[in-house]
Amino acid sequence: MKRIVLLVFVFALASCSREIPSNEVTKSETTLEKIVTEAPAEASDEEAPPELVEESATEPDRTQTENQPLLLAPEKALMIAAAPTRKWNFEEGQDYHRLMPAQPTVDGTDKIEVAEVFWYGCPHCYNFEPKIKAWAKDVPTNARFVQIPVVWNPLARLHARLYYSGEVLAKNGKLTDITAFHATVFNEYHRKGNRLSSEEAIQKLFERFNISREDFLTTWNSFEVNQKIHIANDLVRRYNITGVPAVVVNGKYRTGASDAGSYPKLLEILDELIERETMR
């Protein structure tokens, strides 16, 4: 049954690969003359990489005698007792893939992080956007949703700078409706044919959201945006992302529509992976 569903959705849900048609780029102020697939850059010595999320084994208490029982915290004891009765619906290696070792996350280890890797120019990311955003509104309080733009080539890098400039302007109170802004970027590309392939075209888009040229240029060329692009490049490489949209849960599990076979099932897989991490 799974393979039948996969065949039905294979056209609609095929992911966008790293190869992007060369006709998507125009000559511009940013001198983007052609698309050249890039290998992600290694992190420089000056820039500290994100904190690695790792599971550490708990060392046994060597002072405990053999005859002395080991007492567990009540919550841990209940979790262990309940674990054998939990039946998981999805399988590692089939519905999702484990990253070995665990990799960094964007915002640290205080919550279970669900990261969608995307590109504004990908039609599948465009179709998935409203679904993943609706799902993200109801994530558990111990989880958070983030997005990571791919930085595979000049056009994708330009769009990543667009994404992070919007994020920084929103954080600084300059961009008041970041959700509407992202929706507009997708619509410009996929509905209006505006490929946003130059800094000038992107600056005009920000003007529609009342961002002055001065605020745009200050943010566009800022160290903060450059650092975010560097981290995105590093994470996409670490997660071994070859097509988008893809989703990584807590730096440990990678999945996507091609693994799931449908968007609704993909969201169910994400729910289960969050539950797995919660019970850990």
Q: What domains does the chain contain, in order, with CATH numbers?
A: 2-37+73-279 (3.40.30.10)
* Model pLDDT, residue 19: 67
Global confidence as pTM: 0.75
Tens digit of each residue's pLDDT (9 = 90 or more) over 97-153: 999 999 999 999 999 999 999 999 999 999 999 999 999 999 999 999 999 999 999
**pLDDT of 267 higher than 70:** yes
* Secondary structure, 3-state, the chain: CHHHHHHHHHHHHCCEECCCCHHHCCCCCCCCCCCCCCCCCCCCCCCCCCCCCCCCCCCCCCCCCCCCCCCCCHHHHHHHHHHHHCCCCCCECCCEEECCCCCCCCCCCCCEEEEEEECCCCHHHHHHHHHHHHHHCCCCCCEEEEEEECCCCHHHHHHHHHHHHHHHHHHCCCCCCHHHHHHHHHHHHHCCCCCCCCHHHHHHHHHCCCCCHHHHHHHHCCHHHHHHHHHHHHHHHHCCCCEECEEEECCCEEEEHHHHCCHHHHHHHHHHHHHHHHHC
Tens digit of each residue's pLDDT (9 = 90 or more) over 207-251: 999 999 999 999 999 999 999 999 999 999 999 999 999 999 999
